Chain A
Amino acid sequence: METVFSVLIGFFFAAAVYLMLSKHSVRILLGIAIFGNGVNLLLFTAGRLTREVPPIIPAGMDTLPATAANPLPQALILTAIVISFSFFAFLLVLTYRGYQELGTDNTDEMRFAEPKDEPLPPLGY
């Protein structure tokens, strides 16, 4: 089971990295979203996998049966999902603003903070 997930995660990361290597900020953004999903799956797999039984203690029992899924990675992923969603939202709006302010989504043309061919600093004293 972990094997399938490991390979699947490899595909997620490969796709995410490929998208993030793009020049276009929108594609980078898509890459980041996929990257986040890859990380979540990775955390999920890290806690080992079990099928179907959610970690909810059935009525009448005091503890969780051993067959249930590992709740800790789920809790960690919940935290991570919300965080990565927040960042995704922020970046999305930032990209949008970037497009508005800078007039481009091509990162090669975003040279306002670090302009091309700046003059040399003064060489005198």
Chain B
Amino acid sequence: MADQTALTLLCLFLPVLAALLAPMAIGRFGAAGSWLLALAPAFSFVHFLTLLPQIADGAAITGGYAWVPSLNLSFSWFLDGLSLTFALLITGIGTLIVLYSGGYMKGHPQQGRFLCFILLFMGAMLGLVVSDSFLMLFVYWELTSITSFLLIGFDHEREAARRAALQALVVTGLGGLSLLAGLIFLWNMTGVTQLSLLVNVDDMLRESPFYLTALLLLLGGAFTKSAQFPFHFWLPNAMEAPTPVSAYLHSATMVKAGVYLLMRLNPVMGETPAWEILLPFFGGVTLIAGTVLAIRQTDLKLMLAYTTMASLGLLVMLTGFGAPHAVEAAALYLVAHSLFKGALFMVAGLIDHECGSRDVAQLGGLRKAMPITFGAALAAALSMGGLPLFFGFLAKEEIYYALAHGDLRSILFLVVAVGGNALMFAVAFAVALKPFLGPKVETPKHAHEGPFLMWFGPALLAALGLFAGIFSAVAHRFVSTPMASAVAGQPTVVDISTVPHIGMPLLLSIVTIVLGLLVYLQIDRARALAVRLLEAIGSGPDRGFDHAVAGLVRLSVAVTRIVQPGRLEIYLTVSFILLALTLLVPPIVYGELPDMPSWPSDVLFHEWAFVILALLGLFAVLRASDRLTAIVSLGIQGFAVAVIFLLFGAADLSFTQFMVETLSVVILALVMTRLRLSPTDHRPLGQLLFDAAIAIACGIGFTLFLLKATQGPFNDYLTQFFNTYSKVVAHGANVVNVIIVDFRGTDTLGEISVVLITGLAVLALIRVKAKPRADAVPAAVEEGAKS
């Protein structure tokens, strides 16, 4: 087992390793390097394939290593039917995508970087679906958002690509934060940090008062990632990315992460009213919105993108529907969708690559020029349309089987599903048949079959959709059943086969196909109808995004202008108001004002004299209207303080204060000769009163606090120690000086550092003259350390 654990770990990181090598491989071997790089996902794919029998027998494979033990977080994976199916899709389609990219991006100067990002994404996505611990899931979840940002913005010189990248980052980033909060809620509610252990606490979770909060937060993550209405708008815009990205991230894998999460949580959080209302509702709305939007488009990729959104809605709806077989239907549809949608996207890219256009209106009659592509497209479209023999048919049958119950809710969603599927059928045929059938239309590039690297992938995927349908027993044994069991949280058997059974589901399938054909034949009229419908609804959330971003920026500018107004006066006013509050609120709140002091009768006459002199000095400074008065008054209060120090036994202090005051006055005089002191302090009366109120409040606060602090007992053991040992141990009779140079000498060391730096800083201030400003450009210093 240990070997298997290490091997699984290696397989999880192989894409990342390949990503780091990608630029080098492409640089060395050109597009052929993609063969080399594809080995990494291929190896992982084979490894996961070997695990299939175990999983099919109902086992779950776990493994992992300590990662952040202090947070009770391990790097651990949990492979059951659900995870393994995803892992196979990711590595399998991933291998094909790497090869496809080799052809699609051939000769692109940034091809190495592109493959690097694709492989990084693959590593992230793989980690996401195998993660067992919550935080590991979150880390990988965000990694997929980040790599998706890089890939959507790959064509970064176009504004639309940049916008789409930011949009995806913002929407999925917001969802990611919501997910994080939800996961931490789960952690707090259950004390469990691993998904696989959640099963043990399920009822506790559902009965918790925070269930709904946690659910909404988690849905915030899942819905944004899986492009559910009203967060869907980023997905079609993400089609700005090169087509391999659309095929891989935005149809087959990343957008399904939300669905994955919901499926993963279904056993522990499902089957509650909230779950069974929210999921089908949003899923259903997304399904309808997606198909209507898809019909409206003429761009191949956009049509596919909107049907992807619709399919995701269908998956969410099924996951949350709560009826027997709904989960099986979801599992089947998920696999089928990955196969046919991946293939169709690659076909779209191939057409675009070879013909220079992907607008259905400009395409036609390509079947001769591109026969293999046509075959692949047709097979994929048939699967998407849900025609017998194809895997998509099985999925559709199962869906109708699950929904056909007769109660009102089921009927409602059945109608939604049939309508949605019919429209998807139409779009599938529009994408797969329109460009190939009919008369040949001249395209910007001369159309011919694409290179092997590019048709191989879609052909294989489309063929797989057929084989999986024909050999459904094998597919069910190894994929559908284990996956459905994992999603349902209990053993479930999928046994639907491609041989049609007479019954309600078949009838519904036929209705779907007929409806779909009708729409397909009238596609232009349907498109016009969709356009009119959407116009009637008005602008969607996509336009809103621009307004939201611009609005946020404007809002932030407005807020910042208020909180950072750029005026020192306001800064100081706020600071002093806070100071006054700090000093006055606690004594009042706690009702502990100092004792009312008695009149100080012990103060001597000359002491009063100097106190009053100090006050006079203060008053004179306040009133000073010219330089000389200000300097002299400042000197007066300073010298009064010095004398007060002397009167109360502080000789050293007094000396120093005298010297410092003298020097202050001298340098003040030196500088002030150049400075103008405005004759009056221009404050309007209101301002004056306001400032005075703050000042007085601060003064009172300090006084009250000092009174209170000094009214308590005083512990003077420090002083006693100094007094005792100053002479006998430290050899100094002047205790103050001994404290300065010995007992607390380190203070002095810091203090002289301050003095020294002040000297230098003043020197720098006076001597350094600003160079004439060239621009705000940081001039580099090319001159070294000479002179």
Contact = CB atoms under 8 A, between A and B. Distances in A.
Q: Is A in direct contact with B (CB under 8 Å) within the complex?
A: yes
Interface of A: 1-24, 26-28, 30, 33-34, 37-38, 40-42, 44-59, 61-64, 68-72, 74-79, 81-83, 85-90, 92-97, 99-101, 105, 107-108, 110-111, 113-116, 120-121, 123-125
Contact of A14 (B557, B699, B736): B699
A49 B117 CA distance: 73
Contacts of A82: 656, 660, 751, 754-755
Given A18-B691, A47-B719, 20 more contacts: A2-B706, A3-B597, A6-B702, A11-B618, A18-B692, A21-B573, A21-B576, A22-B569, A26-B672, A33-B664, A57-B727, A64-B735, A69-B649, A79-B740, A83-B751, A93-B765, A111-B567, A114-B566, A116-B566, A120-B557
Given A41-B641, A120-B553, A62 B727 contact: yes
19 contacts: A15-B621, A17-B698, A19-B622, A30-B624, A33-B638, A44-B653, A46-B710, A48-B714, A48-B716, A55-B723, A55-B734, A57-B726, A74-B736, A74-B739, A75-B743, A79-B740, A92-B667, A95-B675, A99-B676
A88 B668 CA distance: 10
A46 B710 CA distance: 6
A64 B163 CA distance: 78
B603 A4 contact: yes
Contacts of B683: 22-23
Nearest to A17: B695
A71 B667 contact: no
B568 interface: yes
Give the bracket for the number of chain B residues in contact with chain A. Answer: 35 or more
Quick one: which of B162, B615, B706 has the most chain A CB within 10 A?
B706
Nearest to B598: A3
A47 B653 CA distance: 14
Given A75-B740, A120-B553, A89 B762 contact: yes
A77 B755 CA distance: 15
Contacts of B747: 75-76, 79
Given A11-B615, A23-B682, A51-B647, A86 B758 contact: yes
A26 to B, nearest CB: 5
Given A14-B698, A69-B648, A90-B762, A7 B675 contact: no
Contacts of B166: 125
A14 B553 contact: no
Contact of A37 (B637, B651, B652, B736): B637
A21 B159 contact: no
Interface string B616-656: 00110110100000100010011001001101111111001
Given A7-B703, A50-B648, A81 B766 contact: no
A75 B736 contact: yes
Given A42-B706, A57-B735, A78 B566 contact: no
Nearest to A29: B668
Nearest to A116: B566
B653 A64 contact: no
A77 B754 CA distance: 15
B709 interface: yes
A14 B765 CA distance: 31
B400 to A, nearest CB: 44
Nearest to A4: B600
Contact of A107 (B557, B568, B576, B699): B568
Contacts of A74: 650, 652-653, 736, 739
B36 interface: no
B410 to A, nearest CB: 45
Contact of A71 (B162, B663, B722): B722
B671 A93 contact: yes
Contacts of B678: 24, 26, 105
A4 B601 CA distance: 10
Nearest to A124: B159
Nearest to B696: A14
B761 interface: yes
Contacts of A68: 649, 723, 735
Contacts of A61: 727
Nearest to B737: A75
Quick one: which of B553, B707, B735, B751 has the most chain A CB within 10 A?
B735
Nearest to A54: B651
A123 B550 contact: yes
